[in-house]
């Protein structure tokens, strides 16, 4: 396979999964097919249904990649959480604040959201913490800090403002994933989803893409596991080794 062949295959793959009508449900399905997509890839027409899909918890906005927001299906979130989430979402933030891994304001914002019923806008958070001691920009920065460590998620918008909720409240089942899914299994599931969307990718580029989630050694371990399970295989891409999901073989009809 050449790079030109790969670009053609990716374009065909992406065109084949684009829904004819953009609704919250169809955009959620589209995001699931694309793996870790961006708003730019979805286009301006998808903005409104994407916001609705976020509010309905069908899609999750991830702040883990530097300089870009990515979107994934709610089904993938458990695997992402296993890779980078806090093990105790109710308590770890206190230790992180003491060790200066988390700012004092972010810890206060998180504690306020833990006790809130439902999602809160930045304005509501600031009102509860005290408008005299905080600014709109400081609250936004604190929420961004929390989102980058997967403590909170944005659930669309309300009244023109983003609304935020703790990961624990929005997806209460997630902490059980830590007890049932290993880090290598989670990495394999995410890589498999990415390879399905990208058709084919080198190990180096896989490692670069998933750097915010896990190390290169985890990428290698996950690929070895997928290969052993006959779910992935190596191919030649411009003369270099790359990985793709193993094609599903159609059962042959018996001759009569």
Residues 187 and 210: their CA atoms lie apart, in Å, by 9
Exposure on the CB side of residue 131, measured as CA atoms within 13 A: 4
Instruction: Please indicate, yes or no, whether residues 97 and 163 belong to a single structural domain of this protein.
Output: yes
Q: For residue 85, is it within any domain? A: no
Q: What is the pLDDT of residue 60?
A: 97
Structural domain that includes position 127:
92-170
- Domain count of the fold of the chain: 3
**Cα 79 to the center of its chain, rounded Å:** 9
Q: For residue 151, is it within any domain? A: yes
Q: For residue 190, is it within any domain? A: yes
Residues 103 and 82: their CA atoms lie apart, in Å, by 23
Q: For residue 86, is it within any domain? A: no
Specify the CATH number for the domain of residue 136.
1.10.10.10
Segments of the chain scoring below 50 in pLDDT: 256
Instruction: Please indicate, yes or no, whether residues 183 and 145 belong to a single structural domain of this protein.
Output: no
Other CB atoms closer than 10 Å to residue 4's CB: what's the count?
A: 9
19 contacts: CB under 8 Å, gap ≥ 6: 26, 27, 29, 30
Q: For residue 48, is it within any domain? A: yes
pTM of the complete model: 0.90
Q: What is the pLDDT of residue 226?
A: 94
Q: What is the pLDDT of residue 249?
A: 65
Q: For residue 57, is it within any domain? A: yes
Q: For residue 145, is it within any domain? A: yes
Q: What is the pLDDT of residue 88?
A: 84
* C-beta of residue 152 within 8 angstroms of C-beta of residue 166: yes
Q: What is the pLDDT of residue 253?
A: 54
Instruction: Please indicate, yes or no, whether residues 62 and 114 belong to a single structural domain of this protein.
Output: no
């Amino acid at each position: 396979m050449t790079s030109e062949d790969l670009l053609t295959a990716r374009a065909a793959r992406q065109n084949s999964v684009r829904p004819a009508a953009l609704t919250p449900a169809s955009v959620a399905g589209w995001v699931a097919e694309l793996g870790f997509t961006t708003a730019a890839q979805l286009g301006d027409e998808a903005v409104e249904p994407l916001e609705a899909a976020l509010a309905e918890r069908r899609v999750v906005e991830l702040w883990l990649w530097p300089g870009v927001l990515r979107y994934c299906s709610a089904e993938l979130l458990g695997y992402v959480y296993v890779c980078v989430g806090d093990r105790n979402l109710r308590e770890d933030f206190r230790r992180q604040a003491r060790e200066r891994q988390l700012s004092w304001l972010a810890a206060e914002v998180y504690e306020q959201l833990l006790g809130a019923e439902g999602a809160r806008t930045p304005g509501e958070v600031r009102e509860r913490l005290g408008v005299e001691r905080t600014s709109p920009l400081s609250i936004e920065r604190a929420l961004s800090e929390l989102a980058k460590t997967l403590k909170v998620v944005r659930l669309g918008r309300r009244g023109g403002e983003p609304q935020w909720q703790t990961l624990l409240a929005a997806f209460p089942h997630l902490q059980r994933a830590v007890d049932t899914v290993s880090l290598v299994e989670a990495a394999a599931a995410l890589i498999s989803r990415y390879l399905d969307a990208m058709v084919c990718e080198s190990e180096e580029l896989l490692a670069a893409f998933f750097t915010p989630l896990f190390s290169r050694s985890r990428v290698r371990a996950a690929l070895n596991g997928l290969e052993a399970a006959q779910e992935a295989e190596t191919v030649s891409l411009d003369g270099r080794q790359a990985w793709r999901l193993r094609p599903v073989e159609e059962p042959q009809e018996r001759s009569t």
